[in-house]
Amino acid sequence: MRAAPTILHLDMDAFYAAAEQAAKPSLRGKPVVVGGIGTRGVVATASYEARRFGVHSAMPVAQARRLCPNAAYLMPRFALYRTVSEQVMELLGRLSPLVEPLSLDEAFVDLEAGGVADDSASARRAGELLRADIRAVTGLTGSVGLAGSKMLAKIASEQAKPDGLVLIEPGTERELLGPMPVRVLPGVGPATGEHLRRAGMTTVADLAEAGEDELVRLLGKAHGVSLYRMAVGHDERPVVAERDAKSVSVEDTFEVDLHDRVRVRNEVVRLSDRCVQRLRAAGRSGRTVVLKVRRYDFSTLTRSETLRGPTDDPAVVREAAGRLLESVDTTGGVRLLGVGVTGLADFTQEDLFAQAAGELAEAEAGAAREAAETAEGGAGSGDPVAPPVPEPEPESHRRWLAGQDVRHTEYGAGWVQGSGVGRVTVRFEEPTSPPGRVRTFPVDDPDLSPSDPLPLVRAAGDQAGSSPASRPKSRSGAGEEMSSP
């Protein structure tokens, strides 16, 4: 525990939904829900306007639509969120070399390690400047918590929401924590919370009063000791700059249960390729392939296979996932499929047998094609038969998703408001424009095409110069300029 509140926790406010509102002027001040837009989708983030209707993260979208039918339901645009997250993390990196990202929109920062704060006044100053810089660079708001430990800094940022700053003075921890529910402490989930409730402990003060021995008796030595220390305000976990990923995975939930075994197999192949793409993007390889299958009755099965060495070869991952699929009964229907890789490493060890098998299969396929061409040529005029050319997918099969970025050759940038019955409705507006006009087109309109997200703030790089890192640092003011009398 530190004597000064120099650990900062930043949590962006309703991040995905706020980014969508910033990108789409017509949605500002209105309820927005980001997540799976199908009947089986799940809410990723709801704007504060939607939360007033009871919509929250991890809620089924079908339930959210019943609670807030007039909200805008949009697909996630992770390319945009990652770009904004990188801008925010860059600002945090200018505060300190010790930044511990927890997700795209959340991180701890050790202000003391950066030399920008050593007491309450300088920590508050650094936090306020950070909030101002985030708004200037991204157009979004974030809530900041400051305390002498990670646990309390996170609690403080939750109290600061939305768009605020809360500083917990060292020495006031027990008074602050006492009336809070036990679930506020790290490591207390639904099961542990219920176990403690049955023992008559519902607040943090109850845990502190029960004592370490009683908590050890109820929860075991490791969990009991840790929980007691947190209940009395002690948390000595350091801010760790590098958090090593333990796995890479992708999964999809399907609108309608999959019954066709061939379709299931094709989806596993597709997910395997996506998983390898993420693996390679991270510069990693993995030793264990994991298959996740959620069946029609919501039962979830996982199967894994450990390879002889780490790999990032898509053929190897596809083959392993396919073998795992053979051990799973999917006759009743499949709701969800996932493919992951664990046991990550920074190098690859090629699976020579799989590579040889792939080359053999390719050679056999080539020989079969040659034989077929020869047979067809002998039956006809004797001219060589050209290999078949796959027909392009019909334009009518183009799928437009709500919230998707598009561009029209005449009307410019916009986003999909909805589609169906062969039509797509687009609202043409940009982050820095007034609310735009809505127009409807055929889904195969050749002038309409997908596009990349637009920046939320113009010339964001120029504005970054106002960050705390660009201001002179002082031990007393965390960025205040020293002036002579």
Catalytic residues: 106
Cβ count within 10 A of residue 397: 9
Residue 43 has which token pair?
A: 């809410």
Return d(Cα 102, Cα 175) in angstroms, integer: 28
Tally the C-alpha atoms within 13 A of residue 170's C-alpha that lie toward its C-beta.
Answer: 17
User: Tokens 């402990």 map to which residue?
Assistant: 201
Query: Does the bond joining 162 to the residue before it have cis omega, within 30 degrees of 0?
Result: yes
Nearest to 296 by CA among 258, 322, 335: 335
Return d(Cα 251, Cα 253) in angstroms, integer: 7
DSSP string over 166-226: EE--TT-HHHHHTTSBGGGSTT--HHHHHHHHHTT--BHHHHHHH-HHHHHHHH-HHHHHH
Residue 169 has which token pair?
A: 């003075």
Compute the radius of gyration of the chain from its Cα atoms. 27
Query: Does the bond joining 69 to the residue before it have cis omega, within 30 degrees of 0?
Result: no
Cβ count within 10 A of residue 46: 27
If 0-12 CB within 10 Å is exposed, 13-18 middle and 19+ buried, where does residue 475 land?
Answer: exposed
User: Tokens 């002179």 map to which residue?
Assistant: 472
Cβ atoms of 291 and 325 closer than 8 Å: yes
